[in-house]
Amino acid sequence: FNSLLSKLERARRRVERYHYEQMKRADRLASIGEMAAGIAHEIKNPLAGVAGVIQVLKKDLPQGDQMRAVLDEVLSQIERMDKAVRNLLSFARPPEPKMSLVDLNELIGKLFDFLAPQFAKYSIVTERKLEAGIPWLSLDPDLVQQAFLNIALNAIQAMPEGGRFTVETRSEESDEEAPGLVQVILTDTGTGVYSENTNRIFSPFFTTRQQGTGLGLSITQRIIEQHGGEISVSNPAAKGASFTVSFPCPENEAPE
């Protein structure tokens, strides 16, 4: 009996230590985040200024001047820095959600229209399997749009040689066992996620891409969780990656 007690005591101490480490880590992340946001904020405006000047310089150059290509390269590097800075800011200082009633099918339709030129550029065929009449949800449409955009951009980057990007929406009514939910499933036929990375891809700063900040999916996850939802990834049988986003569904009020 005594040895059982001391085992329990040891286990309790292990759990306590674990919690303590987690808290310390969260604390450290929060202060790093604040500092990063401060720096990002300081960089954003001068960067826009520099981009403006380069654009003016470029306009003054005659067509065919070799300097134009150089300035274009400078502009594309500035764009890259700007993206990193904006990602850092929305990671460290997330905006408060502004909820309204949203039809997810419509929101996804808009996102696909917005991305159509990108899909075309990389020879990506898209497919929409949207369940008609899924319940409308109370969401922040801009934030949720951003969440799906990050997933779609990753899919595009995972299919440089072309492929297929499928989005499916479905709903499940509540029953005794589970509350109702609305799901959005986004599947690509790209490189897929290595199984040892499936837990890490949502962590801030985890990236396997040369030009990635590794913040896309952690921002996506936070937005989904802000709405009481969940996100998970799986590798479909064939090839590629599949992201499932589930939002809880409000209890259906019977129509009068």
167 binds, among Mg ion, ligand ATP, none (CB under 5 to 8 A by kind): none
Among positions 87, 154, 183, 187, the unique one binding Mg ion when judged by CB under 5 A = 154
87 binds, among ligand ATP, Mg ion, none (CB under 5 to 8 A by kind): ligand ATP
Q: Which residues of 69-80 are buried (b: 16+ CB within 10 A; e: fewer)?
A: eebeeeeeeeee
Give the largest CA-CA distance in the chain: 89
CA dihedral 75, 77, 80, 81 (to 10 degrees): -100
Q: Which residues pair with 200 in a beta bridge?
A: none
Based on CB atoms, which residue is closest to Mg ion, 75 or 149? 149
Q: Is 255 left (phi over 0), alpha (psi -120 to 50) or beta?
A: beta
Binding segment (CB under 5 A) for Mg ion, from list 20-28, 87-95, 150-158, 189-197: 150-158
Based on CB atoms, which residue is closest to ligand ATP, 94 or 212? 212
Q: Which amino acid is at 37?
A: A
Based on CB atoms, which residue is closest to ligand ATP, 137 or 204? 204
204 binds Mg ion (CB under 5 A): no
Helix (H, G, I), strand (E, B) or coil at 245: strand
Q: Which long-range contacts (CB under 8 A, 24 or more apart) does 36-41 make?
A: 36/88, 36/91, 36/92, 37/88, 37/89, 37/91, 37/92, 37/93, 39/88, 40/85, 40/86, 40/88, 40/89, 40/92, 41/89
Based on CB atoms, which residue is closest to ligand ATP, 155 or 223? 155
**What minimum distance in Å lies between the beta carbon of 212 and Mg ion?**
6
190 binds, among ligand ATP, Mg ion, none (CB under 5 to 8 A by kind): ligand ATP
CA 184 – CA 247 distance, rounded (Å): 9
216 binds Mg ion (CB under 5 A): yes
Based on CB atoms, which residue is closest to ligand ATP, 137 or 152? 152
Binding segment (CB under 5 A) for Mg ion, from list 71-79, 170-178, 187-195, 211-219: 211-219
Which residues lie near ligand ATP (CB under 6 A)?
A: 87, 150, 154-155, 158, 188, 190-193, 201, 206-209, 212-218, 241
Binding site for Mg ion (CB under 5 A): 154, 216
